[in-house]
């Protein structure tokens, strides 16, 4: 048995669509930064159970959600040479109803790490973050980035072996804060990815995302916040545009999401360095600098929004 904890992440250059769904291999590289305010804990036990069971927040999972977790467990069992059944229990903190918060990423990282430790793979391979990120990727692509923490880049690769995440920076390079506005929309991330694959603009998205990854990595290492914010905003708009131009015209924003974007633009017009970011959902991350976070938080709260304030979070860790 082992327990692990992993933080959610804010996708900065977002991956969209998958070239290989079984291995969850993306079309292009992507970059994210972990939060330090939202996380998942996972307890994984191997033993003489009658069947595999996955319990999330006290509710037993079935169907596709369970399949994605067991795919991670199966990879660990194969590497460890064991066939014991498992019990997986996860909890998200804070308990909040939102879409686009990244809890699937933190869950994938925490489950992978707990299973890795419980199966004694650390004794066989050492604490190998490259291998661990590959295992976590099987549940949710972005989970591979949650594993390594801070600013992380997912190298798309072309196979299971070369598709993994590496850390490319931390707060010593570019120290930011983000005010998260959790918003809800009942659309699954997998639906959004499949929608993107039908957009006539997907190829253009792949090309621009790969180019933007290089530009954003340089902005992080240079500590250039204005360039960082501009690139992340552009990527968010592009991701949503590709989704909206898919076969079913799926729209991932809501009126509340658009209100937040308008507030951010007005803050910037007043000289406050603030930039919005969204993932495959309406939840908005408002990126700013530490000295301006109180102003951004206060403005959003005054407009009636619930918010979470975050700094840059670390990678996955084993608790017991």
Work out the percent of the chain whose per-residue pLDDT is above 70.
Answer: 100
Tokens of residue 232, six digits: 């992340």
pLDDT score at 188: 87
Q: What does the pLDDT look like over 232-246, one tens digit per residue?
A: 999 999 999 999 999
Within the chain, which residue ranges are assigned CATH 3.30.70.890?
177-310
Q: How far is CA 226 from CA 38, 173, 273, in A?
A: 25, 14, 8
What's the residue count for the chain?
A: 320
Structure tokens at 313: 């979070």
Give the count of alpha carbons within 13 A of 98, CB side only. Answer: 28
pLDDT reported for residue 189? 86
pLDDT tens for each residue of 153-186? 999 999 999 999 999 999 999 999 999 999 999 9
State yes or no: pLDDT of 206 exceeds 90.
yes
User: Is the predicted pLDDT of residue 133 greater than 90, yes or no?
Assistant: yes
pLDDT at 183: 97
What's the Cα-to-Cα distance from 282 to each of 13, 156, 178, 257, rounded to whole Å?
A: 16, 25, 16, 6
Range list for CATH 3.30.230.10 in the chain: 2-172
- Share of residues in the chain with pLDDT > 90 (%): 97
- The whole-angstrom distance between residue 8's C-alpha and the CA centroid of its chain comes to 6
Mean pLDDT estimate for the chain? 97
Sign of the torsion angle spanned by Cα atoms 292, 294, 300, 303: negative
Using DSSP, state whether 24 is helix, strand or coil: coil
List the CATH code of the domain at 177-310.
3.30.70.890
- Beta-bridged to residue 92, according to DSSP, are 40
For residue 296, what are its two tokens?
């951004």
**pLDDT digits 0-9 by tens, 98-125:** 998 999 999 999 999 999 999 999 999 9
Q: What is the pLDDT of residues 254-307, one digit of tens each?
A: 999 999 999 999 999 999 999 999 999 999 999 999 999 999 999 999 999 999
Residue 320: pLDDT band with limits 50, 70, 90 = confident
With contact defined as beta carbons under 8 Å apart, do 212 and 220 qualify? no
Domain 2-172 has CATH 3.30.230.10: yes
Q: What is the distance of C-alpha 182 from the center of its chain?
A: 14
């Amino acid at each position: 048995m082992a327990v692990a904890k992993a933080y959610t992440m804010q996708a900065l250059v977002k991956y969209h669509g998958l070239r290989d769904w079984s291995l969850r291999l993306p079309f292009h590289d992507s970059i994210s930064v972990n939060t330090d305010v939202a996380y998942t804990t996972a307890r994984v036990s191997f033993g003489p159970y009658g069947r595999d069971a996955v319990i999330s927040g006290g509710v037993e999972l079935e169907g596709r959600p369970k399949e994605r977790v067991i795919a991670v467990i199966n990879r660990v069992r194969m590497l460890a040479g064991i066939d014991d059944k498992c019990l997986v229990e996860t909890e998200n903190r804070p308990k909040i109803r939102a879409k686009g918060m990244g809890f699937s990423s933190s869950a994938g990282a925490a489950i992978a790490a707990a299973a890795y430790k419980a199966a004694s793979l650390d004794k066989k391979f050492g604490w190998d973050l490259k291998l661990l990120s590959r295992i976590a990727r099987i549940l949710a692509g972005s989970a591979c980035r949650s594993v390594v923490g801070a600013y992380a880049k997912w190298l798309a690769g072309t196979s299971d072996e070369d598709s993994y995440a590496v850390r490319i920076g931390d707060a010593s390079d570019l120290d930011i804060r983000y005010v998260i506005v959790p918003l809800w929309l009942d659309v699954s991330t997998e639906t959004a990815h499949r929608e993107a694959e039908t957009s006539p603009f997907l190829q253009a998205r792949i090309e621009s995302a790969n180019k933007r990854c290089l530009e954003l990595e340089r902005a992080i290492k240079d500590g250039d916040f204005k360039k960082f914010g501009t690139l992340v905003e552009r990527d968010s708009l592009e991701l949503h545009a590709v989704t909206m131009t898919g076969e079913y015209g799926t729209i991932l924003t809501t009126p509340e999401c658009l209100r937040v974007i308008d507030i951010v633009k007005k803050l910037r017009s007043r000289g406050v360095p603030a930039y919005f970011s969204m993932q495959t959902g309406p939840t908005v991350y408002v990126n700013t600098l530490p000295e301006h976070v109180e102003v951004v938080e206060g403005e959003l709260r005054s407009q009636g929004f619930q918010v979470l304030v975050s700094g840059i979070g670390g990678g996955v860790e084993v608790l017991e």
